[in-house]
Structure 1
């Protein structure tokens, strides 16, 4: 027993000596604590961030995965190095969008915390708080989803719901808007959602009710104005119709158109042919032609009468007068057409 105890003691001493030598060797070995090497090691451990909000791939979810790596493993890096490491792991599209967003400033002008907040704002869920809460209340379990996955989905929606920051008035307003499901309330519901988003901290049921009544009053006023405008338009159409029905029985002697003489635009017009005032050029030609026709007719009647006195035959007088008048009128018409 004593021999065994002595052997065990000797073995322990040897192990202790080896451990002591190893510790001394490690302490004597030069440590590599250069920031560039640390940054390279950390960069290999971080995947690239690609923004895809439809699949819940936001900057907040990505940063949550690597938050300890930036705050603990990269604790020996300064803020400028952390910002460089963070921007290095952004995709090209995300990086370009962020750079355009902060112009004319440069990334080095912001510390790490400010950079993270700006990225969360720029590449977060592009949904209103009401939309997130509404999605939470509409959540159901799909038939092909196991209970563990469903529980994780419920937990995620609950966190987005932010129940701790929801006041009693906000919850009442939320239930008020959820009840506006009919098509008749679609426009009112849309405007109420805007008010909920802009006045989330001060909104209550009384303000929502007053806003709904205000929207109804505005719609009534608009309908009243539209009806009055439509009524005036109908009256104008009817007046124009009545005006068109009252047409004169004869043509205007100033211009030959179908309107009253008092409405003729050629009432004070000076004719280019006869230089008289009160008619246009076509009427002057027509008057000359009418005068020529009258002179020709009177000459024919005088000739026939003279011949009748010699023959004393009324039948021949009538036939010859009609025939010659017809020939004279036709010749006058041909000259007019030419």
Structure 2
């Protein structure tokens, strides 16, 4: 969410800007690429992928955060990312290594992973849209884990059989090499890669070919019961996002951010610090009447009778999707 794309920017209530830097946008994140996606990038000979291939090969040559399952962020980067405060989209030091600053584009976009495939700073469906995309990210992440493990079993089974795929997710103290963004000791690296050491690109390409050969039934089997459950949740989230229903009883969200603007209008935000709704100032006096004690239709009728005003159902639905108005009967919003 860059300032240039917002013709009428609103100052934040705490004085801290929420706009992304134009030279980073939302790309202050280092993707975790599964082995088969790395292989797909290296196998794609399209001229449009030349820069992406070059950057991937450069990372392989450096041997930092390069293992048979993932090509991921260096440990020092991860430490900074996890401990940075209000830095997303606003610091050049965390900019993605695959981002091309000259054109503001991604050099590996064709093969982006789960996080980059599902992140948006704003959602047409508001909070329900964000829930859908976050659930989709969970499902895609599961697919990446299982497909990368399958590829490992085909080409480097000991990596899985010895539990290295689980150890990869563990949080451990940084080594001297990690602190200096240097590769691990030669012996440690060789033990990690076995016979593939020095042939990493070839290994990743082999992983891609193995995954590419899977049928849809093979894929479903790999995801198992977890995949079935996540897909069912995803379908529910999709239905809520594309076919929303206005709850019977609504209440003005006490946690919503309210900011009066110089022109007398009002900005309201709730589910996301990046997504506010602007309304005429007069509308706020109508919104406070939604206190969760009466059905929506009863409140609307009272507004028509007492204030000769009304909020159309479409407006109420939009306010609900952004959780400015909340369902008093919902266990969670």
Considering the TM-score relative to the shorter chain, is it more than 0.5?
Answer: no
TM-score normalised to the size of structure 1?
A: 0.22
Largest Rg, 1 or 2: 1
User: Which structure shows the higher strand fraction?
Assistant: 2
Tell me: higher relative CO, structure 1 or 2? Use CA pairs within 8 A at least 6 residues apart.
2
